Amino acid sequence: MTSKITVAASEVRVNDHIYNGMGTNAHPTFAWESVTEVREVDGLILLITGNLKGLHGEFWLEPEEQIGVIRHPEPAMVLLQPMNPNDKHGHK
């Protein structure tokens, strides 16, 4: 389940979505942008959205500054049982 949470800027992760205001589009769902990189520069947190080689957005925040993000849950790890080479089609 996706959830909107408020975190300190230093806790923002890659793939979180941050709100970038209305911009040029009148529909509010287009204002959420995916964070593609998080850096610390001179004591500030730099959040980058979009592609570094093309158009992108930069958000400079204090590490303790609160920001609302939409975060998708981490995918659950699936543990696979190793197959026994002697098992053929489930017959024993």
SS3 call for 29: helix
d(CA 78, CA 88): 23
pLDDT of residue 22: 60
User: Tens digit of pLDDT for each residue in 6-60?
Assistant: 999 999 999 999 987 665 555 555 678 889 999 999 999 999 988 767 778 889 9
pLDDT of residue 88: 62
- Nearest C-alpha neighbor of 17 from the set 39, 36, 41, 44: 36
Task: Give rounded-to-5 percent helix, strand, coil for the chain.
Answer: 10, 45, 50
pTM for the complete prediction? Answer: 0.68
Count of H-run helices and E-run strands, the chain: 0, 6
The domain limits of the chain are 3-71
Q: Which CATH class is domain 3-71?
A: mainly beta
Q: Is 60 exceeded by the pLDDT of residue 1?
A: yes
